Amino acid sequence: MGTLRTGAAGAASRISVSRTGRSASAPRTGLKAPSSVLPFLPLNEILLGDCIANLEKLPAESVDVVFADPPYNLQLEQALTRPDHSLVDAVDDDWDKFASFSDYDAFTRAWLSAVRRVMKKNATLWVIGSYHNIFRVGAALQDLDFWVLNDIVWRKANPMPNFRGRRFTNAHETMIWASKSAEAKNYTFHYEALKAANEDVQMRSDWFIPICTGEERLKDEAGRKVHPTQKPEALLARVLLSSSNPGDVVLDPFFGSGTTGAVAKKLGRNFIGLERDPVYAKAARARIDAAEPLSDVSIAAPPEKRAEARVPFLSLVEGGHVAAGETLVDERRRFKATVRADGTLALGAIIGSIHKIGALTQGLPACNGWTFWHVERQGKLVCIDEFRAKVRALSA
C-alpha cells in the first residue's frame, strides 16, 4: 500500500487504494471502512467500496469540483453485432443495470444528495451522460436545488457507428455543469484563459474531442479494454482547466479507469476517487502512478482580468498618456472621437464614455472601448489598452 498524500498532486509520490479509511500510519488490513466521517481528507487516494457509503465518510464542504460519470442505464436487451456478425464490446456490466427507471432515479438522487453535502459553497459539479440518462439526472439536479450553469455537448470526432442502421449515429454525449445553488456566485471559471486558448473567441458549449483510443486506452493482459467507457484525458483536462485551480480537490464518485485522477495529477490538482470494482481501482492506481505532473509554469492559474485593478480612462488623461483634445480612432480609421478633459469622449454633440461612444459609432449595443480605440504615436496606431496596462503596472 502507498502512503496517504496530503499535498498537491504533483508533489506527492504515491497513489494508494484506501480500503479502510484509517490514517496513513494505521495498518490497512480490512475491506470495510468505518461508518464514521473520516477525520481527514484522503487526498489522491482511491476509496474502494460503494460510492454513497464512501461519500458519507467525507467531511462536509470539503471538495472544490466534482466530475461524475455515473452508470448510464443503457437498458441493453441483447448483444450488439456488426454487419459482419462480430460482437460489439458494448456496456453490459452489472453496474449499469437497474430494475426500473424509478430505481435509477432513486440511485441518482441518493448520490447527488451525498455529493452536494461534500461540495464547498462555491464548488461546481460536472455530470456526463447520454440520452439514456442525462435528462433524468438533470431533473434530479434541479429538484435538489443545484443550479445549472451550462450543458456541454461533447461531439465525438470518431463515434461508434449505428450498426443496425435504424437510428442516427450517437455522435455526442452531454455534460451538465452546475453550481451547488443559485446563490453560489463565486465559482471558479477561467473565462479569459479559455478564450485565449480558443483564438480569442469565447469557448463554445460544444466540444469536438475524439473518444479514447490508441495508447491511452487501458488494456489487460489479453488485450481487452479494462473499462468499457473510459473517457479521454483531453475531455477531463478541459473540464479541470476551466473550473478548478492548482491545489484544488477534485472528487470523482465513479472513478472507473482513473482518467480524472491521472489528469488531476498532471495538472497539479488533488483528487479523491471512489470505485467499487477492485479491478478498475488497481488499473487506475497503476495509471496514476505512471502519470507525470506538468511543470508549475504550465499549470499556474491564469490571471483573471476581473480581479485586476480598475483604471478609469481619466487616469490616462491625467497621466499624460492621452491628451485632452486628441483624436481617437479605430484600428481601421473608420471612426473617430475627441478626448475631453474630464475623461469622456465627444462624438459631435454626444458625450459619453469610451465604451458608449465606441458602441454608438458602430451602431452596436455594447463595445469594449479599451480595445476599440487607438491613438496615433510616431505615425503608428497604439491601442489605448496599452496605456492602461502601464498605469496598472505602476499602481501594483
CB environment 136-147: b (16+ within 10 A), e (fewer): bbbebbeebebb
- Beta-bridged to residue 270, according to DSSP, are 249
Q: What are 291-314's pLDDT values in tens digits? A: 999 998 888 877 666 666 789 999
* pLDDT of res. 58: 96
Q: Is this model's pTM higher than 0.75 or not? A: no
CATH of region 45-75+84-298, choose from 1.10.3470.10, 3.40.190.10, 3.30.420.40, 3.40.50.150? 3.40.50.150
* Contact partners, residue 42, CB within 8 Å, separation at least 6: 4, 18, 21, 272
Q: What is the dihedral of CA 234, 235, 241, 246, to 10 degrees?
A: -80
Q: What are 27-61's pLDDT values in tens digits? A: 332 233 435 677 789 999 999 999 999 999 999 99
* pLDDT of res. 97: 65
* pLDDT of res. 6: 36
* Contact partners, residue 108, CB within 8 Å, separation at least 6: 70, 133, 136, 137, 140
* pLDDT of res. 157: 84
Cell 439526472 found at: 137
**How far, rounded to the nearest angstrom, does the alpha carbon of residue 47 sit from its chain's CA centroid?**
22
The rounded distance, in Å, linking the Cα atoms of 66 and 30 is: 28
The rounded distance, in Å, linking the Cα atoms of 188 and 243 is: 5
E strand spans, the chain: 16-18, 45-48, 63-68, 119-129, 147-156, 172-179, 206-209, 249-252, 270-275, 327-329, 336-339, 345-347, 350-352, 374-377, 380-383
Closest CA to 16 of 284, 383, 381: 284
* pLDDT of res. 213: 80
At residue 314, φ and ψ (nearest 5 deg) are -60, -30
Residue ranges in the chain whose pLDDT is less than 50: 1-34, 76, 78-83, 85-91, 95
Q: Which helix (H) or strand (E) holds 78?
A: none
CB 369 within 8 A of CB 353: yes
Cell 492621452 found at: 322
Using DSSP's 3-state secondary structure scheme, residue 337 falls into strand
Closest CA to 125 of 93, 147, 107: 147
